[in-house]
Structure 1
Amino acid sequence: MSQLVRAPAFPACVPRLGAGLASLNIRTFSCLGPRQNESSGTLSNLTIGKHTRVIFQGFTGRQATANARESLAWGTNIVGGVKPGGGGEHLGLPVLPSVKKAVETLKPDATGIYVAAHQAAAAIEEAIDAEVPLIVAVAEHIPLHDILRIHSILKTQTASRLVGANSPGIISSVGKCRIGFQPLSCFSPGRVGIVARSGTLSYETAASTLRSGLGQSMCIGVGGDILPGTTIVDGLKVLADDPDTEAIALVGEIGGHAELEAADWIRLYRERTDNPKPIVAIIGGLTAPPDRIMGHAGAFLLPGEPSALDKVKALENAGVAIVNHPSRFGPVISNLLAGRLVSSVHGVDNKTGPHGGGAANQQQTRGLHTLGRSCPSSRTADCRTKLFSPPVHPIRQQQRSIILAPQTALNLLKGRNVATNFSSANADAPRTLAITINRSTSSPSVFVIADHKQPTEAAKFDFDYRQGTSSISMDDVARELGFSKDSVASLRRTVDELVSLFTEKEAYLVETRVVENRDGSGDSRVEIVSAKLGFDDAAFRSCKRQGDIQSLRNTDSADPVELEAERDGIVYIKLEDGTIGTLVNGAGLAMNTVDALADAGGKAANFLDTGGKATSETVKRSFEMILQDQRVKSIFVNIFGGLTRGDMIAEGVVLAFKDLQMSVPVVVRIRGTNEKEGQKIIKESGLPLFAFDDFDEAAAKVIELAAQK
């Protein structure tokens, strides 16, 4: 029985359309709703606290050791760890040779996996096999197809729940339990629950609630991967039922349907609950260019996915208050809890400062709907349609993925004996046939769009990663394409070969445009007239797999500065028409910095993510890259010192400014760990550097300086 998801209406078994998915005319059959491990009750495994017995996999490694010391001192009940084949003690706690032995001996409730990306999938599988209730995977760059296999395994069991990968982890401030690497200086027992895709944005959200005297109950970092083990809706369900949580902060971003699904859940929650908890949200990526991956592995659009603006509107329609910067979470939530903002508020006053002054007390509007690169509501479908069109301009290469040039893609298909026809008589009316990821079901899927439909009307035929497409009815696929029954045999061969390419070469997108033609004997034949192939770069970078695909990458049309940044482990993306250079630590915060600058009337010249741990060297290299852009009139350094100390970053900025003999003025906003020390170093440097802790003041200054230049 094939699993079919199709727009525009929900089936009879689903009672009503939600504010989120309904806005995009999407429906999902119930068989593609909750995953088996969610419906069987593993959500309760997320409720950590003093009772939670924690083990570490990779316990004796440097990162795990440092993290364990901090967590133990904070109060986390770490009972031991695992080192393959090991034994003895570490940090005064037992070391076991396997997870299975650790489960038998230590009876853990949770495991934190602190191993490198190339080892992480095996470590997760070992924990699932040992039935550890909660598995937290913090590693970034785990290959996508390893995670697809993990999800296939998770769906067959009911004991374990995964948080991550590419996640800062999960932390209970009330229960003093940290499984992850959240900066403890930002967390204190309190009233606000946080569920977030971005690590840096979640840290600044926590710090904002701390400054407002609210503190946090729990923070669930679902992570920035394409397929997180725990979703935003999962986190909302836990926080809504948590007695210590009085309000919820939601941190989302571009990519996937998670925030639309959250909007649907929130609307139903508000309808069925007498006194619903206030929910405030932020969405990163409102100004993101549509063809780029914005730092996080999952921060990009797959076929048929909504824009960031779609997500904002869906959440607003569900009664969620939207902020445009994480420093505003604290004051806005304070006002909501005090009753100064009604629960149906759709936005916040842009003048609301991060310290709680000036919050409005009635329903308000804001300027996020008019940002430069966001698709206006009447044009969102047109914007998304571009994903399915053959590229007019050379494809820009991007870190974290490999997109082949159109001709290279077709040559690769021809080499696999896939029927192609570059000059088909019917090429003016092709249909879309794609093999990609259904993020909502954590499954690979065959996406089909007829020529007269929009991407949001795709028919999605999911299949099990390990079992293949045998369960899919090719008659249904042909019907969705508008092809005749005579094409079914040829279509099956085409789909099988595309799926084979998808799995063997670890693609995240095999998108083709297909037509139905008749050969000389009158038989129907499905032919590909254009193709877009995207492959997971992590397979090569983390595991040295797919070297042949890596060799096909053509960097001739890539921006040389972007390639330079990639080699240095920095994500740099040049943006159109900007005059303000940006330097930020963390992908989510970098996206939000570009968005919030636009909301304040400025325009960023680039997106730049130094990574979660900015250092003096990465700051200097980042300045060098930004200064190569002659459009840049001022530079905005926006650093949240979570995993990195603010004073260290300030010293790096001062040294880089002197070494590079910079003449472009620099505005530095440092918050978080050692923020006052960092601000003092900037102010006393004697250089044309401007230090702020308030985002609004810093943004106003950098915009003013850019205008003066």
Structure 2
Amino acid sequence: MAQLKPDATAIYVAAHQAAAAIEEAIEAEVPLIVAVAEHIPLHDMLRIHSVLKSQSKSRLVGPNSPGIISAVGRCRIGFQPLPCFTPGRIGIIAKSGTLSYEAVASTTRAGLGQSLCIGVGGDIVPGTDIRDALAVLEDDPDTDAIALIGEIGGMGELEAADWIREYHSRTKSPKPVVGLVAGVTEAPGRILGHAGAFAIAGEPDAGAKIAALEAARVTMVDHPAKFGEALKARLEGRTTITESWSSRAFHDRGMGREQRRQFHTGFHRPQPRKRPSSGLGQHQRRHIYLAEDKCMDLLREAGGINCGAYSGSGVRKLVSIGIDRSTRSPCILAAPTTGEDQVNDIVKRYPFDYRNGPDELSIERIANHLQLAQTESVIASLRRLVRSLAAIFYDKEAFLLSTLVVERLGEIKVVGARFGFDDAAHRSCGRQAELHETRNVAAEDPAEVQAERNGIVYIKLRGDGTVGTLVNGAGLAMNTVDALSGNATNFLDTGGKATAETVKQSFEVILQDPRVRVIFVNIFGGLTLGDMIANGVILAFKELSPSVPVVVRIRGTNEKEGQKLIAESGLPLYAFDDFEEAAAKAIELVSECIGIDEMKPVTDLFRDDLLRARLSIYCDMAVDSRTCTYSNSKPV
């Protein structure tokens, strides 16, 4: 620093040493620190954020981020695929690397190019969030419009919506913003690939984020390939463009409404957001949970806490220690009830500094919010519970310690507990081995365990889907599941290991699900080569001989070579470069796999306006989806 006086440093250090490298850069007062490593232990990052708050010299981007790149300035700090980028006018902010590469390719095809692209990353507590990045792009003279890519997890998109609304109110000619939020199709209780892709009590679902951004006059799209046309329309002053895929709408389960399938800038008021009913039953697997009796044993050992079964008497209240992603610090979560119909706002957060622990002064405010009796004994028992939870939080490197309590005989009694611990502490640093040993692999889905051993994130989705998905990148995998509108059987992210071998292993896992009638491979070749993926698909098909057709969509690096290999393979494979065409083909092929003996109502097969419209054409009549059945590829 003394000799070179650099403006930035890149932290290309493995997860177990990355936190120490970041801390060195902060101590050296490097202005910009970009960290790309994934799987840095959560508590290491909480400590780093506590340090960052005590200074004003350094900004951190990442971790779990592809980095930042200025296409105009021709400067990259990260690992983004350079062939995708073209100097231009669009600033991009993204939690997901693969979705940002898709947005880059789309804006390049639209002739707009890119200015500054900020990968905020998919970590639980990123150093720079969406709102911070918006403030940077506001002042960037090369940026004329902004693409914003969010996903499930945290409050960042709602905070971004608030910032955009305020920006519009104080700016005569604000830069237009087009947005996308991945994770509309949730998998309750699971983390969707990225470390931060989950919601805890009090956090909004993807539908609420979409509604908030719409209310801030952000044009929303449902696939990153549409960014180019949508941004061009906003820059040209056009406010509504009919989408090119179809008229079908995918259903936003969290909001109980259909997401609009048109580009628009209309003002819409967000609806109330729901939270998990108990604060316990819907928690994510990141990644180690203890049985309830073990959780209560820990509480008894830590502070002699009164624990036992719920007798049905008394109102259950939520008291937890979790993560406040907005303040990038741990927090106490409290709610006076745990009913099904409670909105998110009833869960209040009480952040505390990681290095100092919970603030004793906040205990009375928490007790007041919980609607507890303001007696010395009740307050003392709540204080003891919070202290015990904090001790476990630090000692065991937890990410969420959730309890249900009732007020009984002048004190707090714990009647429910679910504790989640950070698996990265063990995987990256070898810490918490005793907790890792408590994992009961035999009780988990064998296919998911098999995928995990091969470095693949595979989650079997509930429902009657028929399309198995294979995708490289967590954000793109989330978005693919969303776009298939309930027809997906699984979430599968090959991550950075999208090689010929992992493609074959992914096929093996997907084909274990008897619901799968078609496999949809959706690959955006950034760092991953399209021809390598094509060879992997061909190899897997030859070795496994699947009885279902395979649709392969390849874009990005070496896309033409990959598509040619698929087309000339002589196998029943379908090659596309356009996502919408590929997805429509996958849905269409499902019908050809339905035999004569599998008569089902049309709505059981395709809850999809496009397919019903096609059936209407085939029949030369209006298809009543309640009575029409489907047999041997012909409507009856």
Per-residue CA shift, 1:458-499, capped at 9, x if unaligned?
221111100112353321121111112321122111101101
SS in 2 for 1:106: coil
User: What is the CA–CA distance in structure 2 between the aligned matches of 1:285 and 1:387, rounded to whole Å?
Assistant: 22
CA distance in 2, matches of 1:670, 1:237: 34
SS in 1 for 2:590: helix
Provide closer, same or farther for how the CA distance between residues 541 and 381 of structure 1 changes in structure 2, counting only shifts above 3 A. Answer: farther
Question: Do structure 1's residue 415 and structure 2's residue 301 form an aligned pair?
Answer: yes
Structure 2 Cα separation of the partners of residues 387 and 187 of structure 1: 46
* Partner-residue secondary structure (3-state), 2:392: helix
Instruction: Give the alignment's TM-score, normalised by structure 2.
Output: 0.87
Q: Structure 1 residue 459 and structure 2 residue 345: aligned?
A: no
Change (3 A) 1:404 1:455: farther
1:318 matched to 2:216? The reply is yes
What are the Cα deviations for residues 178-199 of structure 1, in whole angstroms up to 9, with x where unaligned? 0000000111110100000000
Secondary structure of the corresponding residue to residue 530 of structure 1: strand
CA distance in 1, matches of 2:271, 2:399: 23
Contact 1:390/1:530 (8 A) holds in 2 = no
**Map of 1:553 onto structure 2:** 439
Report the equivalent of 1:185.
83
Residue 463 (structure 2) pairs with residue 581 (structure 1): no
Q: CA deviation at 1:382?
A: 8.0
Q: SS at 1:255's partner residue?
A: coil
Match of 1:667 in 2: 551
Instruction: Give CA-to-partner distance per residue, 1:369-418, whole Å, 9 cap, x none.
Output: x24x4341699868523351557xxx8x84x4212232332233233344
Equivalent pairs counted in the alignment come to 576
Segment of structure 1 superposing worse, 585-594 or 468-477: 468-477
Contact 1:667 1:691 in 2 (8 A): yes
CA offset digits 1:654-677 (Å, max 9, x no partner): 111101112210000000001011
Cα offset, 1:640, TM superposition: 0.4
Note if 1:482 corresponds to 2:356.
Answer: no
For 2:474, give the aligned amino acid.
Answer: A
- Residue matched to 1:654: 538
Partner of 2:494: 610
In the alignment, which of 323, 327, 335 is matched to residue 441 of structure 1?
327
Q: 2:244: which partner in 1?
A: 351
1:374 counterpart = 2:374: no
**Aligned-pair CA distance for 1:424:** 5.0
Tell me the distance in 1 between the aligned counterparts of 2:257 and 2:290.
31
Tell whether the 8 Å contact from 1:328 to 1:352 is kept in structure 2 after alignment: no
Does 2:413 align with 1:527?
A: yes
1:212 & 1:540 partners in 2: Cα distance?
45
- Of stretches 479-488 and 321-330 in structure 1, the one that deviates more from structure 2 is 479-488
Matched with 2:400 is 509
Question: Which of 464, 470, 480 is the aligned partner of 2:359?
Answer: 470
Q: Is the 8 A contact 1:583 1:636 kept in 2?
A: yes
TM-superposed deviation, 1:321: 0.6
* Aligned 8 A contact 1:463 1:471 in 2: no
| Cα gap change, 1:179 to 1:471, in 2 (>3 Å) | farther
Please give the TM-score of this superposition, normalised by the length of structure 1: 0.79
Q: Does 1:148 align with 2:46?
A: yes
In 2, the alpha carbon distance for the partners of 1:582 and 1:420 equals 47
Does residue 578 of structure 2 align to residue 694 of structure 1?
yes
C-alpha separation in 2, matches of 1:626 and 1:552: 28
Query: Following the alignment from structure 2 to structure 1, what is the Cα–Cα distance between the partners of residues 8 and 445?
Result: 44
Distance 1:387 1:516, change over 3 A: closer
Question: Using a 3 Å threshold, how does the CA distance of structure 1 residues 418 and 634 change in structure 2: closer, same or farther?
Answer: farther
Q: 1:591 aligns with which of 454, 472, 478?
A: 478
Give, as a single letter, the amino acid of the residue that structure 2 aligns with 1:621: Q
User: Over the residues paired in the alignment, what is the CA RMSD in angstroms?
Assistant: 2.0
The alpha carbon displacement at 1:504 in A equals 1.2
Q: Quick one: distance in 2 between partners of 1:455 and 1:338?
A: 38
**Measured at CA, do residues 290 and 380 of structure 1 come closer, stay the same or move farther in structure 2, by a change above 3 Å?**
farther
Over 3 Å counting, the alpha-carbon distance change for 1:380 and 1:427 in structure 2 is farther
Deviation at 1:104, TM superposition (A): 1.4
Deviation at 1:299, TM superposition (A): 0.1
Find the aligned partners of 1:152 and 1:536 in 2 and give their Cα distance.
18
User: In structure 2, what is the Cα distance between the partners aligned to 1:540 and 1:188?
Assistant: 41
Given that residues 426 and 515 in structure 1 are in contact (C-alpha distance below 8 angstroms), is that contact kept between their aligned partners in structure 2? no
- The one-letter amino acid paired with 1:596 is A
Spell out the pairing of 1:182-331 with structure 2 (5 A cutoff).
182-331=80-229
Distance 2:430 2:310 in 1: 38
Which residue of 2 is the match for residue 161 of structure 1?
Answer: 59
In structure 2, the residue matched to 1:494 is 385
The CA distance in 2 between the partners of 1:480 and 1:226, in whole Å, is 26
- C-alpha distance in structure 1 between counterparts of 2:254 and 2:344, whole Å: 17
2:632 maps to which residue? none
**C-alpha deviation, 1:430, in angstroms:** 1.3
1:501-553 deviations in whole A, cap 9, x for unaligned? 011111111010112222xxxxx322211011111110000001011111222
Query: CA shift at 1:366, angstroms?
Result: 7.6
Q: CA deviation at 1:436?
A: 0.4
- How far did 1:585 drift? 0.2
The 2-side partners of 1:472 and 1:198 are apart by: 39
Give the 3-state SS of the residue equivalent to 1:296 in structure 2: coil
Question: Does the Cα contact within 8 Å between 2:524 and 2:555 map onto a contact in 1?
Answer: yes
Would the alpha carbon gap of residues 552 and 214 (structure 1) be closer, same or farther in structure 2, given more than 3 Å must change?
same
Provide the C-alpha distance between the structure 2 equivalents of 1:471 and 1:421, rounded to a whole number of angstroms.
23
Matches of 1:622 and 1:315, distance apart in 2 = 35
What is the CA deviation profile of residues 279-312 of structure 1, one whole-angstrom value per residue up to 9, with x for unaligned ones? Answer: 1011000001231100000000011000000000
Secondary structure of the 2:495 match is: coil
**Cα distance between partner residues in 2 of 1:496 and 1:597:** 46
Alpha-carbon distance in 2 for matches of 1:426, 1:515: 10
* Counterpart Cα distance in 1 of 2:348 and 2:235: 43
Amino acid in the other structure paired with 1:491: L
How far residue 425 of structure 1 moved from its aligned partner, in angstroms, is: 4.8
Range moving further from structure 2, 329-338 or 649-658: 329-338
State how far apart, in whole Å, the 2-side matches of 1:517 and 1:387 are.
Answer: 19
Alpha-carbon separation, structure 2, partners of 1:563 and 1:410: 28
Q: Say whether residues 1:130 and 2:28 are aligned partners.
A: yes
Segment of structure 1 superposing worse, 655-664 or 408-417:
408-417
Deviation string 1:229-263 (CA, Å, 9 cap, x unpaired) is 00101111111221111110000000000000011
1:57 matched to which residue of 2? Answer: none
Q: Deviations over 1:149-196 (max 9, x none)?
A: 000000000000000010000000000110000000111110100000
Q: Which residue of structure 1 aligns with residue 620 of structure 2?
A: none
The CA distance in 2 between the partners of 1:300 and 1:659, in whole Å, is 36
Contact 2:280 2:403 in 1 (8 A): no
Instruction: List runs of 5+ in structure 1 lacking aligned partners.
Output: 1-102, 354-364, 519-523
Q: C-alpha offsets along residues 339-394 of structure 1, whole Å, 9 cap, x if unaligned? A: 2x22xx6xx533269xxxxxxxxxxx9824x24x4341699868523351557xxx
Partner in structure 2 of residue 26 of structure 1: none
Question: Where do 1:94-105 residues align within 5 Å?
Answer: 103-105=1-3
Cα shift readout 1:25-53 (whole Å, capped 9, x = no counterpart): xxxxxxxxxxxxxxxxxxxxxxxxxxxxx
Q: What secondary structure, in the 3-state scheme, does the structure 2 residue paired with 1:612 have? A: helix
